[in-house]
Amino acid sequence: SAVISQKPSRDICQRGTSLTIQCQVDSQVTMMFWYRQQPGQSLTLIATANQGSEATYESGFVIDKFPISRPNLTFSTLTVSNLSPEDSSIYLCSVEGPGQGGPPLHFGNGTRLTVT
Amino acid sequence: GDSVTQMEGPVTLSEEAFLTINCTYTATGYPSLFWYVQYPGEGLQLLLKATKADDKGSNKGFEATYRKETTSFHLEKGSVQVSDSAVYFCALKTNAGKSTFGDGTTLTVKP
């Protein structure tokens, strides 16, 4: 299965600043997914990042707030901009596993963001 | 739209107790079904999966059977250990490739 390295693992940021999260995969993948996991809640898909094209954002998420880069097939960044306390969450990078029949997702260890 | 409903937690059990975490889903077509586990401070890991009706996924003593007639995928383990303490997520993935997760169930196993 894919090995996903995500950093930073945690950060404390002041409101109004931005945080950029990096995600590195040990194999080439077409799609990379960014999720948000708010305290005590489930995962919500923020966007899907395809190499060479604009990311596709889910309802309720916009590029100005969550700009994404995908410069190559093994790397992506998610920036959370103009931070407010409501952005305090765990942010997870994920990729699809190989195989047919609905392959599972593989996740990084997440970035725990606290906004003060 | 697609949805996954999990048994609410938290669940607290004694070591060697039997575990059931209920999961039901709503989806168009025939999704693949998954259980993921999240240990403290880590991301989600795939625990088991089933891709079609009546398939049974199993791993590390955990089992779940894809029941199309009841749209369910309940997670079971005959004898839990302290090391099984974690958050468990039921999820589905449609043929279009979109994943939907349940709210997660926190399991605490006491020695």
Q: Could you please report the per-residue DSSP string of A49-80? A: EETTSPPEEPTT--TTTS-EEEEETTEEEEEE
Query: Does the pLDDT at position B85 exceed 80?
Result: yes
Q: pLDDT band at residue A101, thresholds of 50, 70 and 90?
A: low
Q: pLDDT band at residue B98, thresholds of 50, 70 and 90?
A: confident
In Å, how far is A109's CA from the nearest CA of chain B? Answer: 4
Higher pLDDT, A86 or B94: A86
Region B25-36 average pLDDT: 92
* Residue B11, strand partner residues: B107
pLDDT at B56: 97
Torsion sign across C-alpha atoms B2, B5, B10, B15: negative
Region B95-99 average pLDDT: 82
Select from A4, A102, A109 the Cβ nearest to the Cβ of B32. A102
pLDDT at B21: 97
Return the residue matching tokens 């709503």: B26
Region B73-82 average pLDDT: 97
Phi first, then psi, for residue B82 (nearest 5°) are -55, -35
Contact B44 A109 (CB under 8 A): no
Contact B89 A43 (CB under 8 A): yes
pLDDT at A99: 64
Select from B31, B89, B101 the Cβ nearest to the Cβ of A102. B31
Query: Does the pLDDT at position A100 exceed 70?
Result: no
Asked if B5 reaches chain A (Cβ–Cβ under 8 Å), the answer is: no
The percent of residues in chain B predicted with pLDDT above 90, rounded, is 83
**Which range has the worst mean pLDDT, A59-73, A97-111, B26-40?**
A97-111
Contact A4 B103 (CB under 8 A): no
In Å, how far is B15's CA from the nearest CA of chain A? Answer: 24
List the structure tokens of A114: 């606290």
Instruction: Measure the CA angle with vertex B33, ends B29 and B35; round to 5°.
Output: 160
Type of residue found at A34: W
* Residue B76, strand partner residues: B20, B63
| pLDDT digits 0-9 by tens, A27-71 | 999 899 999 998 878 899 999 998 888 899 999 999 999 999 999
The C-alpha atoms of residue B69 and residue B36 are separated, in whole angstroms, by 23
Relative to beta strand B105-110, strand B11-14 is: parallel
Alpha-carbon dihedral angle through residues A98, A101, A106, A112, given to the nearest 10 degrees: 150
| pLDDT digits 0-9 by tens, A2-26 | 889 999 999 999 999 999 999 999 9
In Å, how far is B47's CA from the nearest CA of chain A? Answer: 10
